[in-house]
Every structure is written in structure tokens, then in C-alpha cells.
Homo-oligomer: A and B are copies of this chain.
């Protein structure tokens, strides 16, 4: 992304988040006030979008600092309830530097249609964007978790799968979570996943 170079790690993280929000908005993946975006700095601080507000029109004020367990560092800042889902990804892997949560039409529709607990993605060249994938000739399992307004409970359901979800995961009727070592890697995985979900949705309209 066309982020300006900054020697201040916090400012760099904020720039990454603002640019990611604009990119996600361009594709329609952050409608209304949906979605949230975070970065973990080398010193362990976590920068994340504030609750509410449009993720396509972020300013530096829309990004707040939270602790590793998801509480606001500055009094009065209000993190999104879903901050916990970001924090557990960071906690599970020291290599993760960015987490993205978006709401696309394809992920929403496919996860609501899917009766099982996963969407299977097979035979696509773009699968190679996901961690550890070397070939199109494979099947990647994208877990689908039921939506829950109790995010602590939902994070408990997700937790056992962390470390073995190369394409991220979907919350039913809600959206996707993906991550990566850097924001560029996380965004590439998000674009790859949404591309594949768009393909799956098209195939289900035709291939009957």
C-alpha cells in the first residue's frame, strides 16, 4: 500500500490500518461501520480500529491502543467487542503482525448457506497465497463458526483451531478473519480468500 515512510512505529501502524481500510472499502468489504483492522508493533503494542465509524474513511483518531487482553490503554477509548478475536490471534502466534476482519457479500452468503462447519476450497491456483500451500492440487478447509454476540464465548470456540487455519476463518452471516506477518501479507490473504469465495459463489449459481 502507498503508505508514507515513518520512523515512528505507532504512526506506521496507523498508516497501515488507514490504507487497509481504504482498500477494503474499495471492494465493498467494510459496509456501514462493519469490519475492524489491527496491527501489532515490534514492541508488542496493539493498534486497532475504534468501535463504530466507517473503516473506509479512517483518520489517526480512529485507531486506538489496546492491551494484549483487549482493554483500552487510554481511559475513554472504546474498543470494539471483537477486539478479543484479534488479541487471541496475536497471542497464539508471535509471528502475526496484522489481523483483518471484513464483511463481504460472498462470505456472508456462503457461510449462511453452508450447513456444515467449513467451506472447502479445492483446485485453485490462488490457494498458494495461504500459509504453507505449495500447489493448487489440494483442499484448504475454511472453518465456519456460528455467530455469537458474546465475543468471549465465541473466542473460546475459535481458540482450539488457532494454528491450523491457513486461510483464516468465517463467522456465519458475519464475515472473515485473516492475518499475516505484515499488513501486506494479511491483505494479500484477504484478497486471495475473497477471490476464492467469489469464485465459489459463482460456481454455485451455475454448476447444477
List A residues at the B interface (Cβ < 8 Å): 1-2, 27-28, 31-34, 54, 57, 103, 105-106, 108-109, 112-113, 123-126, 129, 134-137, 147, 149, 171, 173-175, 184, 187-189, 191-192, 194-195, 198-199, 201-207
Contact = CB atoms under 8 A, between A and B. Distances in A.
Contacts of A207: 113
Nearest to A194: B31
Contact of A124 (B108, B137, B189, B195): B108
A116 to B, nearest CB: 15
Given A28-B195, A137-B149, A201-B206, 14 more contacts: A2-B57, A31-B126, A31-B191, A31-B192, A32-B126, A32-B191, A54-B187, A109-B203, A113-B206, A124-B173, A124-B174, A125-B174, A134-B149, A136-B149
How many chain copies? 4
A27 B26 CA distance: 10
Contacts of A2: 57
A184 B137 contact: no
Contact of A188 (B33, B191, B202, B203): B33
Given A124-B173, A195-B105, A205-B205, A33 B113 contact: no
A195 B32 contact: yes
Nearest to A113: B207
A135 to B, nearest CB: 5
Contacts of A201: 202, 206
A62 to B, nearest CB: 12
Contact of A125 (B28, B124, B125, B147): B147
Contacts of A149: 134-137
A164 to B, nearest CB: 21
A65 to B, nearest CB: 24
